[in-house]
């Protein structure tokens, strides 16, 4: 599997590891972003590629299946008003998807989380990693191998 030792997502998990297989891993984002958007996850491709179209069809389908399973797990676990999905990679050109729970009254809504805050952050209950992992495991168990 191609890696790049200069790439932060090849060298580091990129967050708290919740799940992984041979194609990708799901991590929970920490720090200020994780506190403002509880449950915020990234699905990170294990191969060092910048674009979905570089992956084989099977690996691309697997990544998208995991993104959707992560979305369903977050919807169940944190019950947001909306989920944002984004694959940008402008600063870190290593394929990864952001799976971001959003609320109508969060600090940035309706703008993206990378825009200027619209209001002060509202404290939100933190969802434990065990609960998030269980929801993710339940959703991933329905995927084809």
pLDDT of amino acid 2: 62
pLDDT of amino acid 1: 57
pLDDT of amino acid 111: 95
Q: Is 122 exposed, middle or buried (0-12, 13-18, 19+ CB in 10 A)?
A: exposed
Top pLDDT among 82 and 125 is at 82
Helix (H) or strand (E) holding 41: strand 41-45
pLDDT tens per residue across span 63-100: 999 999 999 999 999 999 999 999 998 888 999 999 99
d(CA 34, CA 51): 25
pTM for the whole structure:
0.93
3-class secondary-structure state, position 127: coil
Is-contact 122 106, C-beta < 8 A?
yes
d(CA 33, CA 15): 11
Strand partners, 7: none
- Sheet with 16-20, side-by-side order of all strands: 16-20, 24-28, 41-45, 96-102, 82-86
Residues contacting 58, CB < 8 A, separation 6+: none
pLDDT tens per residue across span 12-28: 898 999 999 999 999 99
pLDDT of amino acid 35: 87
* pLDDT level of residue 145 (50, 70, 90 thresholds): confident
pLDDT of amino acid 144: 79
pLDDT of amino acid 124: 85
pLDDT tens per residue across span 26-48: 999 998 888 899 999 999 999 99
pLDDT of amino acid 69: 97
pLDDT of amino acid 17: 96
């Amino acid at each position: 599997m191609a890696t790049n030792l200069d790439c932060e997502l090849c060298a580091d998990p990129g967050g708290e590891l919740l799940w992984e297989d041979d194609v990708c891993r799901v991590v929970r984002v920490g720090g200020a972003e994780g506190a403002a958007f509880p449950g915020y996850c990234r699905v990170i491709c294990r191969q060092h590629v910048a674009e979905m179209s570089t992956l084989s069809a099977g690996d691309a389908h697997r990544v998208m299946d995991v993104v959707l399973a992560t979305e369903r797990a977050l919807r169940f676990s944190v019950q947001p008003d909306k989920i944002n999905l984004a694959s940008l990679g402008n600063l870190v050109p290593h394929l990864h998807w952001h799976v971001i729970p959003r609320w109508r009254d969060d600090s940035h809504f309706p703008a993206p989380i990378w825009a200027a805050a619209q209001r002060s952050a509202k404290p939100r209950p933190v969802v434990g990693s065990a609960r998030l992992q269980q929801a993710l495991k339940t959703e991933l168990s329905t995927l084809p191998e």
